Amino acid sequence: MGGLLGREFESPHLHCRDSMAEKVDVRILKTKERLKRALLDLLRTKPVSDISVSEICKKGEVNRNTFYCHYDSVADLLSEVEGTFLEEISSSIRISGETIESVSDLVYLILRVAKANRDLCTLLFSENGDKKFIATLLSFAKPSAVENWSEVLNMSRRDAEMLYSFITGGAVSVIERWVVDGFQENEKQIAEKLNLIILGAQQALVQ
């Protein structure tokens, strides 16, 4: 009796429902991919703040109602696109087993992943992209860096946070310039130069 029930649960109807769900998932993925491509295409010519839902839908050939089934706004769509890059960084850390112990470590990882996703990052890090995105990426190392500087260098937490803000502000500009210049300089060299700047700034504060 138990065997019969087992076969009943594996009826063609269940497989049909699974197949239908798969098709729906594929359709959703394709729709979202069209919307993302449309947004990235528009970022080539105008800042994200000037891009409307209507423009994205027209370019992606997607109905406005369908857009709002998946996203609340253009910013929401951009956030998902940026999430792709964040996932690349997380995956890189997991696969390589790397530990992010300093700002320069994080910058090196960001540059490496950016170079592997040149087309996407050229748009995300451009003048038309989200100005806060790189700063958000760099904020990941803040807790460990501030704690480390406070303990090892006997630096006040306020000074450590000030130093982090100063360094990440400069790092954002360096990364943006690197992207605009076409990823020419070696990413390891950039991270090493940044590390020298960090050391100099640390010494100035602890003297």
Listed by start position, the domains of the chain span: 1-71, 84-207
Mean pLDDT for the stretch of residues 192-203? 85
The mean of the pLDDT values for the chain is 81
Tell me, what's the pLDDT at 186?
92
pLDDT of 99: 59
**DSSP string of 155-169, one letter each residue:** --HHHHHHHHHHHHH
Packed helices 12-43 and 53-60: angle between N→C axes, nearest 10 degrees: 120
Nearest CA among 137, 201, 133, 144 for reference residue 167 = 201
For residue 81, give the nearest of 127, 49, 35, 134 by alpha carbon: 35
Asked if residue 114 has pLDDT above 80, the reply is yes
Q: How many whole angstroms separate alpha carbon 193 and alpha carbon 88?
A: 24
For the chain, give the percent of residues with pLDDT over 70: 83
Contacts of 114 (CB under 8 A, 6+ apart): 85, 121, 125, 175, 179, 183
Q: How far is it, in rounded angstroms, from Cα 52 to Cα 71?
A: 13
150 pLDDT band, cuts 50/70/90, is confident
CA dist list (Å): 64 to 2, 8, 71: 50, 42, 10
pLDDT tens digits, 42-52: 999 999 999 99
Specify the amino acid at residue 80: E
Banded model confidence at residue 177, pLDDT cuts 50, 70, 90: confident
Q: How many whole angstroms from its chain centre is CA 35?
A: 17
Query: What's the CA gap between 56 and 67, in Å, rounded?
Result: 9
| Burial letters 57-84, b for 16+ CB under 10 A, else e | bebbebeeebbeeebeebeebbeebbee
Residue with tokens 């429902």: 17
